[in-house]
Amino acid sequence: MCLVALWPSILGLALITGIVIAPVCLQKLGRRLTNQLSTLPALTGWALLIFAKDPTTLLVSRFLQGFGMGIQAASAPISIAEYSAPKYRGAFLATIAFSFSTGMLVAHVFGTLLYWRSAAMACGSCYVISLILISLSPETPPYLSTKGKFKECRKSFRWLRGWGSQSEKELEILLNCQKQNNFQIRQVSKWKVYLETVKKPEFYKPTVIMMFMFVLFQMSGMTVVPSYTLPMMAEVTDGTIEPYTSMLMVDVVRFATAVLACIVVNKLNRRTVLFIGISISVISLFVTSLLLYLKDFGYISDEYKWTPLIPTLIYIFGKTLGILPIPWAIAGEIFPLAYRSLGSGISGMFLSLMFFVVVKTAPTSFRQIGVKGTFCIYGLSIAICGAFLFYLLPETKGKTLYEIECHFKGIKEDKKSIEMDEKGRILELGTVEEG
C-alpha cells in the first residue's frame, strides 16, 4: 500500500529535482552534453528496475527515471528549437508529443505482452539508442554563439541548415546580435543581470504564458489519463469492453493523432491548432460527463452503456492534437536566447508542481466524484486556461527566434538588413529602423 501511494509522488519529486538542475546544466555544459547526461540516470533507473528485489529499489528506480525525465523536459524543447529552421520548427517540436504518445503505446504493448522485467529491459534500450543519436549531433548554434565560439557556431549552423541565402541571413543576425549581447553582459555584474532580467517583458511575459500553458497541459489530464487508463475506461464503458482492449484503443488514438499533429502544427498557426484542441477537449469532456450521469440515472439502456466511449476517444483526439504538442512547441520558441535556460527551468518547475498536484489529487477525485465529476473539473479548467491564453499568446509560426524576442520587447519595426551576392556571401549587415 505504501509503494502504491509513493509511486506517483516520487516521480513528481524527481521531475522537480531534474528541472531545477537543468537550467544550470544547459547554461554551463551546453544543450548537447546536458541531453547526453540526462540519459544516464534514466538508464540506471531502468537497470535497477530489471534487477529489483524490494520496494526500496523500485522507488529509487522510479526516482532516477523521473530525474532524467525532468532534465529532458527542460532541455528538449530548447534543443529542438535551436536546431531547426523556422519553416520546420513546429513539426520538429511536435515530435515531442509524438514521442510521448509513441512511448505510451509501446510501453503498454510491452507491459501487456512481456514479463515486467523484460518490458523494463526493452524500454531501457530506447535510452541507449537516444544516447547514440545525441552523440552524433553537434552543439546548437545559438549556445555556441553565447560562448563566443563563432567559428564553431558557423560550422554547426551550416551542418544543420546548409548554405542557403535565407539560412546565411539568419546566421549573421544570430552572430551579430550575440556579439552585442556578450559585450553588454561583460559590462555589468551577474547579480545585476539577474535582477534586471525579472523586470524585462521579454522574460516575464513568456514565463506567465508558459505557466498557463502547463496548467492547461496538466489539467487536461495529460499525465493522469495514462496512469489511470484502466479504471477510467472501466467506468466509461461500464465493463462492456475489456479494460486492456480499451486502454490500447486510447493508445492507438493518441498515437495516430500525434502523427497527424506533426503535420498540422507545421501547416496551421500555433494558436489555431491549440484552440481547436481546446474546443474539442472541452466539449467532449462535458458530453462524456453528461452521458455518464444519464447512465447512472437509468436514462441509457444496457445495450448502449458503451456510448460514453465515443466522446472519451474524441477527447483523447482533441488533447493530443492541440494541448499536447503546442505547449512544447511554444516552450522551445518563446524565451529569448539570453534567458532560455532560466525561463525553461522556471516554467518546467511549474509543470512539475502541477504534475505532482494533479497526480496526487486524481485518485481521491476519481473515488469521491467519479470519472464524470473529474471530467467536469478538467473541462472547466481547460476552458479557463484557454480564455487567458486567447489574450496572452502571440502567434509564433514561421517567425525566427529573434523575431519572437522582438515581439516581447515591444520592437515592432526592428529588421536586419543583409545584402548578399549571387554566391550567397554577406556584403553588408546593418540595422534598419522603419517608420
**Residue 283: inside a domain, yes or no?**
yes
**Residue 364: inside a domain, yes or no?**
yes
279 shares its domain with 342: yes
Instruction: Look up residue 164 and give its three cell numbers.
Output: 542557403
- Reply yes or no on whether the pLDDT at 59 is more than 80: yes
85 shares its domain with 146: no
**Residue 432: inside a domain, yes or no?**
no
SS3 373: helix
285 shares its domain with 330: yes
66 shares its domain with 153: no
Say how far apart CA 42 and CA 62 lie, in whole Å: 9
Q: Which CATH number belongs to the domain containing residue 311 in this structure?
A: 1.20.1250.20
Say how far apart CA 70 and CA 16 lie, in whole Å: 7
Domain extent for 288: 2-137+195-392
**Residue 152: inside a domain, yes or no?**
yes
218 shares its domain with 236: yes
- The string of pLDDT tens digits covering residues 324-363 is 889 888 888 888 877 777 787 788 788 878 888 888 888 8
Domain boundary among 120, 155, 187: 187
Q: Other C-beta atoms within 10 Å of 418: how many?
A: 19
- Do 13 and 69 meet the contact criterion of CB atoms below 8 Å apart? no
**Residue 414: inside a domain, yes or no?**
no
Closest-CA residue to 222 (of 275, 284, 281, 286): 281
Q: Using alpha carbons only, how large is the chain's radius of gyration in Å?
A: 23
Closest-CA residue to 177 (of 24, 335, 337, 325): 337
- The string of pLDDT tens digits covering residues 220-231 is 888 788 777 778
- The mean of the pLDDT values for the chain is 82
**Residue 413: inside a domain, yes or no?**
no
65 shares its domain with 163: no
- What is the domain count for the chain? 2
pLDDT, residue 182, reads 55
pTM of this prediction exceeds 0.85: no
63 shares its domain with 203: yes
Crossing angle for the helix pair 229-237 and 243-267, to the nearest 10 degrees: 100
- The string of pLDDT tens digits covering residues 124-167 is 888 899 999 999 999 999 889 888 888 899 999 999 888 877 78
**Residue 428: inside a domain, yes or no?**
no
317 shares its domain with 223: yes
Domain boundary among 157, 187, 217: 187
- Beta strand 426-433 pairing with 414-420: antiparallel
pLDDT, residue 262, reads 86
259 shares its domain with 284: yes
145 shares its domain with 126: no
- At residue 419 the predicted structure's pLDDT band, cuts being 50, 70 and 90, is very low
